[in-house]
Structure 1
Amino acid sequence: MHSTTPRIAIIGAGPGGLTCARVLQRSGVPVTVFAHEAPAAADPQGSALELRMTTARTALRAAGLYEEFTAIARPAGQELRLLDHTATVLLQDAPAPGGPDRTEVDRAALRRLLLASLTAGTVHWGSYLRTLHPLGDGRHRAEFDDGHTETFDLVIGADGAWSRVRPMLSEDTPHYSGVTFVETGIEDADGRHPDLARLVGDGGLLALSAGKGLLARRHGRGRLLVYAGFRGSQDWASAAGVRMADTEAVRAVLLDGFAGWDDRLLALLRDSDGGFVNRPLFALPVPHTWTHTPGLTLLGDAAHLMTPFAGGGAGLAMLDGCELAQALAEGGDPDAAVRAYESALLPRAAQAADHAARALSEAFAPDAPESALRFLCNDRER
């Protein structure tokens, strides 16, 4: 990489990539972000993000956005309830004062905050990376799907699970974990379904039995986010002869799959609003590492895709982006900065991914919920 100001490209406009861009610009380092989606799709769809603030706070403060963030965020429930399929409560756990704090924020609101903090024109929308061509001396020519090319001294892959940058560094690809989540939700649970709201409590509910689970988490404005989780094929809907767009047919298949469970738990599926979204869980191998390659690096899911039982993928991505930007902004040799970033990133990511993999395995083990109870108790004691 050159001693002059390097040309830096960030591929991907998620929380990690945008945080990296913000911290770089705040430090006077120019950067360009390439987003595959069109501007009209800039607001991401989906549920709210839950951030572990012990992780995200560092990134937000480095970005100079912590106060603005607190204005759009809301507290997330801290309690966790573990139940069996009869709705018997096996564990009701609330963190001690001063323990890990969680905050909830709408995905779209967080993205708008980060985008508004960037210099106009930083994000190039509708730019899908087709491939990268090594040119030597750490430089790469990026070729986009519209045919245009640009040369950069550093390309940062912040482009998620199916990263186009990762194959330049690693032969590993995400693998199906064997567990699928089917997402739905219940609006205004306190007003319309008070029994369910009381069952879930102030935080999250995890009901498990023999490789299956019903999960619910309280989100803002009285919404319950609900998942039916089970081991099996990610193409279970096709095998069952139903289309995900056929809400009532999917509901019937899910209720049949959880037959024999307590009716109070089945109400999470029976009374849900809207449709169902299929979310097979993918993860990179643990640990996921790569040989340092001048001019390239990864952050967020591109670097350490893990199942959601890690609890904080977005916060980790933001911390990645912050630390990489800070290392680059310190001046000196950019390649040395990337090496230093990777030397801290890889062991931290491996630890989080290992924890996530073990949590998923125990939650959907044949002897669940006992396996999950042992894991949670051991985890709490560490």
Structure 2
Amino acid sequence: MNSVAPAQARISIIGAGPGGLTCARILQRRGIAVTVHDRDRGPDARNQGGTLDLHADNGQIALREAGLLEEFFELARPEGQEMRRLDPTGTITSHQVPEADELFKPEIDRGQLRDLLLDSLQPGTVHWGQALDAISGPVDGPQQLHFTDGTTIETDLVIGADGAYSRVRPAVSPAVPQYTGVSFLEARFSDVERRHPDIADLVGQGSAHAADGDRAMFAQRNSADHIRVYLIQRVPVDWISRSGLTADDTGGIRALLLDRYAHWSPRMRRMIADNDGPYVERPILALPVPHAWAHNPTVTLLGDAAHLMPPLGVGVNLAMLDACELALALADSATVDAAVRTYEKAMLPRSTETATILEGGAEHLLSADSPDLDHDAAAQS
């Protein structure tokens, strides 16, 4: 079967995260029809996670191509680029404060970014409540998408933008995410200036990181007077159950954590004990390095589905750059096959190079001089 022209192709994106929505937006701006399928029942079905920074040399490039950069700057928090490093007593050991006009990597809440992208799409682009079960069909297409609700559709190109546990990935690769040995436990704080002023003072307007070599803490200011704290440990993936606890045993987990962080100052331990609501477990996963696959003219991947890495400053930014380059390749190529080849020729070497640099990087999160976090660990769960 000859590969169809992108303008006549049925293009299906699986996953309505930042990568999938960015790809859809740029395709529509270039006059190419696309449908996005997402397993959530609707855009408000679940919390979208914390804050993230969009870099001028990748994420912002994608937003510029999407025609949304100025709207992004209206929502973003440049002050969120502030970065503090603390010791376990709560003493600031280094402090980076952005210049007044610094816009290299301003922060934005994941939910705000998603809404910005969703609102830019043509009505009906996203089909909610469609969880992909499997893909079938010949390599040269068309492909059949089988959803868990029993529906099946035929498509000429499947774009897997469905994250760490991608249901599209098995169509091109047997790789599955592996636990890195490091886990996050998220604690949330609301109305912080009034209810948690000491924590607000510790964190500042951006992020704060502290570590002792065996355990760490990373806190980040979100919009609407919220702070999220990630307690970072080198533990077995089933550490909660091994401790005789369940994920909803907030009191038991809190007592265990307070014991593990016993030598940290009382002020720092407030970020463990004073959280509003339950903890959220977020083990850090990564795909094998390198991760590549034989070219398939009708299936490709972007973002975490293609190159899941530790959260060290690249996640959403690379996903959005992938999305931008794939959409532009489709707009500028004679066939879908040619577009996928062009995209993967650039994306696979780039992601392999970055993943090689970051391989084993989850361990650095426990170091007092660790690199900046990606602010996107929540996307891996």
Q: Quick check: TM above 0.5?
A: yes
1:351 to 341, 350, 353: 353
2:155 aligns with 152
The 2-side partners of 1:100 and 1:339 are apart by 33
- What is the letter of the counterpart of residue 66 of structure 1? L
1:42–1:113 CA distance, 2 compared to 1 (3 A): farther
How far apart, in 1, do the equivalents of 2:359 and 2:99 lie?
A: 25
Aligned counterparts, 1:102-251, within 5 A: 102-251=105-254
Which string of whole-angstrom CA distances, capped at 9 and with x for unpartnered residues, describes residues 245-298 of structure 1?
A: 232222111111111122221121122222211111111112221121111100
Q: Percent identity?
A: 47
Contact 2:78 2:103 in 1 (8 A): no
Q: Which residue of 1 aligns with 2:269?
A: 266
Provide the residue aligned with 1:340 in structure 2: 342
Aligned residues: 369
Q: Which moved more, 1:87-96 or 1:232-241?
A: 87-96
Partner of 1:379: none
SS at match of 1:102: coil
**Cα deviation code 1:4-53 (max 9, x no counterpart):** 72221111111111111111111111111111121264564332333224
Q: Which residue of 1 aligns with 2:327?
A: 325
Q: C-alpha distance in 2, partners of 1:150/1:221?
A: 41
Once residues 218 and 148 of structure 1 are traced to their aligned partners in structure 2, the CA distance between those partners, rounded to angstroms, is: 42
Match of 2:27 in 1: 24
In 2 relative to 1, CA 100–167 (structure 1 residues): closer, same or farther, beyond 3 Å? farther
The within-5 A match list for 1:78-89 is 78-89=81-92
**Distance in 1 (alpha carbons) for counterparts of 2:144 and 2:36:** 15
Deviations 1:61-93 (A, max 9, x none): 211122232333322422333333344544334
Per-residue displacement from partner, 1:93-147 (whole Å, max 9, x unpaired)? 4467887722222333322222222222222222222211122434322222233
> Quick one: which amino acid aligns to residue 355 of structure 2?
A
Which runs of 5 or more structure 1 residues have no equivalent in the other structure? 377-382
Distance 1:126 1:225 in 2: 28
Match of residue 285, structure 1, among 288, 291, 308? 288
Deviation at 1:211, TM superposition (A): 1.9
**1:314-355 deviation per Cα after TM superposition (whole angstroms, max 9, x unaligned):** 222122111100110113132121111112112222333344
CA separation in 1, counterparts of 2:101 and 2:70? 20
Query: Residues 183, 194 of structure 1: CA spacing in aligned structure 2 closer, same or farther, 3 A cutoff?
Result: same
Q: Alignment partner of 1:293: what SS?
A: coil
Distance 1:139 1:285 in 2: 29
Q: How far 1:228 sits from its partner (Å)? A: 0.9
Corresponding position: 1:362 with 2:364: yes
Give the match's secondary structure for 1:275: coil
Partner of 1:380: none
CA-CA distance at 1:214 after TM superposition? 1.4
What is the aligned counterpart of 1:276 among 267, 275, 279? 279
Q: What is the distance in 1 between the residues matched to 2:69 and 2:103?
A: 18
Q: CA deviation at 1:233?
A: 1.4
